Amino acid sequence: MTVSPISLAFKKCKKEKRPALLTYTVAGDNTKKKSLEILNSISKYVDICELGFPHNTPIGDGGQIQTASYRAIKNGIKMKDIFQIVNKFKNRKNSKPLILMGYYNMICRYGENKFLNKCKQVGVNGLIVVDLPWPDNKKFAKKCKKKSVTFVQLLSPTTSKKRIKKIINDSHDMIYYISMLSTTGGKLKISPKKILENYNSIKKINKSKNIVIGFGITIKTINSLKKADGLVVGSAICNEISKSINNRQNPVTNVTNIVSLLKKRIS
């Protein structure tokens, strides 16, 4: 089997002795065109791009990502636009692996198989489905694998040891560890040291899995979590887009600036 682009991205970072930088932006935020421009522009600093397909009843997202999602939906973003954005992004020479992230109802409505075929066609490398936890996701995760799409399993501080082992067993080449009890965008309410402790105990179970940490990571905190395989920054970026709009500045420039800063902090 060929090594997936996601695995390759982690390998490259390991060689460079740094964690992978993953960003999360919402497709269509604040417009279809701008969100593609943002992806293209941050791509040179980012190792893996997460792109959200926005849903209007997101039960796992905090204020910033909700705002970004509503903005995108209000601007009329549709599934077909989202696949188009991915397609255009992936067709560029120096694009990065891309993970789509969202809620199950959107996939369900589109049709699981049709959705995955489309993912494969436009070059989606991975999927995160916030409200499809293990073991309910087993069948779908298998379908993903058949299409060479990494299904990213999630782990949280509330996940029991026994459950963690089983989830890792069924996982593909990337796992997402949620840093704390929070929706996206919360302030880090436990110390980075404690997060890394939890992280390491999970990592020990299977060293070959690439495990990233997300939720609550900002410019201020990213440096302290550098020991992880990868770090995801979402709300801080969505917030930057909100700020840019309020200040009538170009979100592409501003987002690119903070992503380059994030990269500096972990290099």
Active site residues: 50, 61
| Strand residue runs (E) in 140-227 | 150-151, 153-155, 174-178, 210-214
Site string for another protein, 23-62 (x = CB under 8 A): --------------------------------xxxxxxxx
- Nearest approach in angstroms of CB 263 to another protein is 28
Whole-angstrom CA distances from 75 to 62, 146, 244 are 20, 34, 17
Specify whether the CB–CB gap between 203 and 165 falls below 8 A.
no
For residue 178, the cross-strand partners are: 214
H or E segment to which residue 17 belongs: none
Specify whether the CB–CB gap between 95 and 89 falls below 8 A.
yes
Based on the shown chain and the rule CB under 8 A, indicate whether residue 163 belongs to the binding site for another protein: yes
Residue partners of 246: CB distance under 8 A and separation at least 6: none
Residue among 108, 197, 243, 267 that touches another protein (CB under 8 A): 108
Based on the shown chain and the rule CB under 8 A, indicate whether residue 246 belongs to the binding site for another protein: no
Residue among 157, 190, 206, 226 that touches another protein (CB under 8 A): 157
- Nearest approach in angstroms of CB 216 to another protein is 11
Site string for another protein, 199-238 (x = CB under 8 A): ----------------------------------------
Site residues for another protein per CB under 8 A? 55-62, 66, 70, 73, 78-79, 103-110, 130-134, 136, 154-160, 163, 178, 181-183, 186
